[in-house]
Amino acid sequence: MTVDRTNRSAGSQMTDGRIKADRETILSAQDGNKDAYGELVLKYQKRLFRFIFMMLGSKDATEDIVQEAFVSGYLALNSFDVEKPFYPWLATIARNLALNKIKKTDKEKPASEYDDLIDAVPDKTANPLERIINRENERRLALAVAALPEQYRMVFVLRTFEKLSYEEIAKQLNIAAGTVDSRLYRAREKLVQMLKDLL
């Protein structure tokens, strides 16, 4: 297993660009401009919804968590460092809220909820899992992802759908980059087994 370290400079430039694009909006929101914060909500709500939905598998629960995350983000906005990217900070708030919910209620997700999974999947096929995604089996994938142990599910979602680097995932989950690599490998291995009829 090897850690993917390609295109780091390009990724860094993209991050810098996002920081600059959001800086003025965030500063305005920190000054009390609710419309400015509304712009951030509109910009990131779909991406955040996708992320949390892949964790929880329930549309209603996801909507609650996303709304709570944006409210919590607004209340804590003055503590946010505008020199850092906004979305990872917001996603961390949402992820923690989702994890708390998972710990409180460990109920089986209704399959019908997965029909509402929004599309934001890779276009290129580099491995069997991506072929599954691109053959429009998002519902089956979402069910399988939800069945993964939490430690594997979090790494898989952050890498596959959030496109975070190994280092970024390690920082968010407070684990080593090597652990990210091994957990991602195990997650993919388990998913291939669960979805082998689609390969």
Task: Report pLDDT digits (tens) over 151-169.
Answer: 898 899 889 888 889 998 9
Does residue 89 sit in the same domain as residue 126? no
Long-range contact set of residues 60-69: C-beta below 8 Å, sequence gap at least 24: 60/113, 61/101, 65/94, 65/97, 65/98, 65/101, 66/94, 68/97, 69/93, 69/94, 69/97
CATH code of the domain covering residue 195: 1.10.10.10
Does residue 129 sit in the same domain as residue 169? yes
- Give the pLDDT confidence score for residue 69 in this predicted structure: 97
Cβ atoms of 94 and 51 within 8 Å: the answer is: yes
Tokens found for residue 30:
């920190």
User: SS3 for 148-172, per residue?
Assistant: CCHHHHHHHHHHHCCCCCHHHHHHH
- Give the pLDDT confidence score for residue 137 in this predicted structure: 65
Cβ atoms of 130 and 124 within 8 Å: the answer is: yes
- Give the pLDDT confidence score for residue 131 in this predicted structure: 58
Does residue 14 sit in the same domain as residue 98? yes
Place of tokens 């069997």: 128
Does residue 50 sit in the same domain as residue 68? yes
CATH code of the domain covering residue 89: 1.10.1740.10
Task: Report pLDDT digits (tens) over 68-92.
Answer: 999 999 999 999 999 999 999 999 9
- Give the pLDDT confidence score for residue 51 in this predicted structure: 87
Does residue 103 sit in the same domain as residue 156? no
Residue 59: which domain range?
A: 7-111
Q: Range with the lowest mean pLDDT among 62-66, 126-130, 136-140?
A: 126-130
The structural domain count of the chain equals 2
Long-range contact set of residues 73-80: C-beta below 8 Å, sequence gap at least 24: 74/29, 74/37, 77/26, 77/29, 77/30, 77/37, 78/30, 80/26, 80/30
* Chosen domain end from 79, 95, 111: 111
